[in-house]
Structure formats: C-alpha cells, structure tokens
Amino acid sequence: MLHIHCPHCGELRSEEEFHAAGQAHIPRPLDPDSCTDVEWGDYMFFRDNPRGIHHELWVHATGCRRYFNVTRNTETYEILETYKIGEQPQVTGKPVVVAKAIEGETV
Amino acid sequence: MSNVNVYSQRPAGTARAESPLFHAELEKLAGRSVSGAGVTLREKKLRGHLILRGDASDRGFTRAVESVLGLELPVALGLTAKGETSLQWLGPDEWLLVVPQGEEYATELNLREAIGDRHISIVNVSGGQTLYELTGPNVRNVLMKSTSYDVHPSNFPVGKAVGTVFAKSQLIIRHTGEDTWELVVRRSFADYIWLWLQDASAEYGLAIAA
C-alpha cells in the first residue's frame, strides 16, 4: 500500500483514497475549430506510456476530491513528488527506456 | 446580492420530514437500557447542510463569511464550531456549513447578502446527507476497525475533519470532542453505515440516544 501526499490536504494518505486519471500536462488546443483531424485525434486519444519518469493526473477521490499531479516512476512505482495543477514538476528526466537504448549502442 | 433564485427548501406547516435513518426507528431503540455502553450513537437529523464555495485568498469573501457566521473559515482539514453551527474545510475553495434545523434558508440569504457579487456558490445539500454523532470511550476502537486513516489523537486532534475510506464506503470523519466524533454520511449510504456501526460496536455495547 502506497502512502501518497495530497498537496491540498497537506498530508500522506492511503493509496485507496486516490484514483489515477491518466497523463498530466495535456493542454487543450486553444482553437479547436482550426485543428486538423490528426491534431485533434492526438489531443483526444493518444497518450504517452513511458518506462520511467511519468507525470500523471490523480484525484483524491474520497478526501478533498481535487485533482493534482504526480511524478511517478512507472518501473518502480515510486512516487517522486506531488504538486498542484498549474505548477511545474521539480523532478523531470529522460524516460529510462531511452537512456538504456543509448547505453546499449555504446556498449 | 447576485441575481440567484434562492428559496426555502424546507416544507412549511405539518409536512412530515423523514431523516435518512427514519426507518431504523431510533426513538424506540433509545428507550432500551444498555449497561456499560462503550459507544452511544445519535443521529443529528434534519440539520441544514450548505456547501459554500469561494476564493479563500479573497479577504473580502472570507471577512463576509466570518461576519455572518461568527466563525473563521478553517484551513485544510479544519473544523470550527460555535454552538450547533459548524464550518468545515472540504477543499481549497469549498466548505461544509451545518446549521440547526430550519436556519439554512436565512443563513444562505445572509451569506449571499454579505458576500455580494463575488463569484461564489452556496448549495443546500440538507437532503443529501446526515450526521451521526458517536460518543463514548470505545468510539476510537470502532473507527479503527472501519477506516485505514490514523485516528489516534496525535494525528487526529479535536477540530480536525477528514474525508476518507470507511467500511468500504466513503464518508467524512469529524473529531468534535475528546470522546465525541461525527460522521457525515451520504443519504444513500445511511442504512449501510448504520448496519456497519451496529456490527462494529456490538462488542463494546451500543446505546442509542434520541
């Protein structure tokens, strides 16, 4: 069971109080009418699925019922930080899968 | 005051009101004598529940609320109370205001008058939820059986209120006195939580107060 820090409640809460809600930092196109089908389709349906550092949207479903962002390592399940919507993550990194591929080339 | 249609939702006259635990007939159960009851349950029924939303960083808004209620707007996980009126933090821009039965309409009008044209919301949710008050030396044991949240006084002092998972369901736990706790229960879960509390507190002895 993970303990997740809710940035609104300001304390660690049990994982069962939360729901994951997909990838974070997806800006809605400012002018949807001028989007091509490809651009709109990418916005609507296509999501990253990285191995390693991933920024996700979570909701404190049974607590304050607010959305916030989580930086999580998808390999280890480690939650590196949580931060409010509108803030920028402190922890960013190249997806591990890319780093490994580069290492593999040099070996 | 903004141009919002506000009306009294409580029927006047002799219309019969049924609380979410009406069917449990707590008045009859209150007559039973339970020796050495470790938990006493009382439904604080038919109170006025208002959801208040607004910008907590707007001093004009917070001052208006405080002047009407005489209560400070609590910060995260806070609960302030004066008599039978209580104000609880639900989110960064959301509070639950509980007032005595029948006062919710006047309170809403006063709040809207004082807050003026600011971008706020007040919604009467009195019919949607109810309050259970649990008192007694074993209440904390009952809560510990029901929720994963740490209810030890070092983590959950008087004046704190949290929404959390409770008995595979969800509700708000409020610590209002040393041995007194309140549960804010959704109407549709009222019966389930009532059955759960009977089961969970059976070993300590459950008394009902009317």
Tell me: the pLDDT tens digits for B105-164?
999 999 999 999 999 999 999 999 999 999 999 999 999 999 999 999 999 999 999 999
Cβ of A10 within 8 Å of Cβ of B77? The answer is yes
CA dihedral (A90, A95, A101, A102) positive or negative:
negative
Examine residue B92 and state whether it is found in any structural domain, yes or no: yes
Q: Quick one: A13 exposed, middle or buried, by C-beta within 10 A (0-12, 13-18, 19+)?
A: buried
Give a yes or no: residue B13 inside a domain: no
Distance of CA B37 to the CA centre of its chain: 23
Alpha helical stretches, state H, A1-107? 37-45, 96-106
Residue B10 lies in a domain: no
Q: How confident is the model at residue B34 (pLDDT cuts 50, 70, 90)?
A: confident
Say how far apart CA B165 and CA B148 lie, in whole Å. Answer: 7
Mean pLDDT value across chain B = 94
The span from the CA of B54 to the CA of B42, in Å, is 32
Minimum-distance CB partner of B163 among A10, A16, A62: A62
Within-domain flag for B76:
yes
- Tell whether B51 lies on the interface with A, counting CB pairs under 8 A: no
- Specify the CATH number for the domain of residue B122: 3.30.1360.120
Higher-scoring residue by pLDDT: A106, B203? B203
Q: Give the pLDDT score at B162.
A: 97
Shortest CA distance from B156: residue in chain A: A11
Residue B7 lies in a domain: no
How far, in Å, are A54, A58, A82, B26 from residue A71 at the CA level? Answer: 6, 10, 6, 49
Name the residue with higher pLDDT: B46 or A104.
B46
Confidence (pLDDT) at A98: 47
What integer pLDDT is reported at residue A103 of this predicted model?
A: 53
State whether residue B90 sits within 8 Å of chain A by CB.
yes
Give the pLDDT of residue B190. Answer: 96
Q: Residue B91's domain spans which residues?
A: 23-209
Q: What percent of chain A shows pLDDT beyond 70?
A: 87
Q: How many domains does chain B have?
A: 1
Question: How is A86-99 classified by DSSP, letter by letter?
Answer: TSPPS-----HHHH
Mean pLDDT of B40-57: 96
Using CB atoms, which residue from A14, A16, A64 is nearest to B163?
A: A64
CATH number of A3-106: 3.30.2270.10
Summarised one tens digit per residue, pLDDT across range A76-98 is 999 999 999 999 999 987 654 44
Task: Let me know if residue B18 belongs to a domain.
Answer: no
Residue B95 inside a domain? The answer is: yes
Domain assignment present for B5: no
Q: Where are the domains of chain A?
A: 3-106
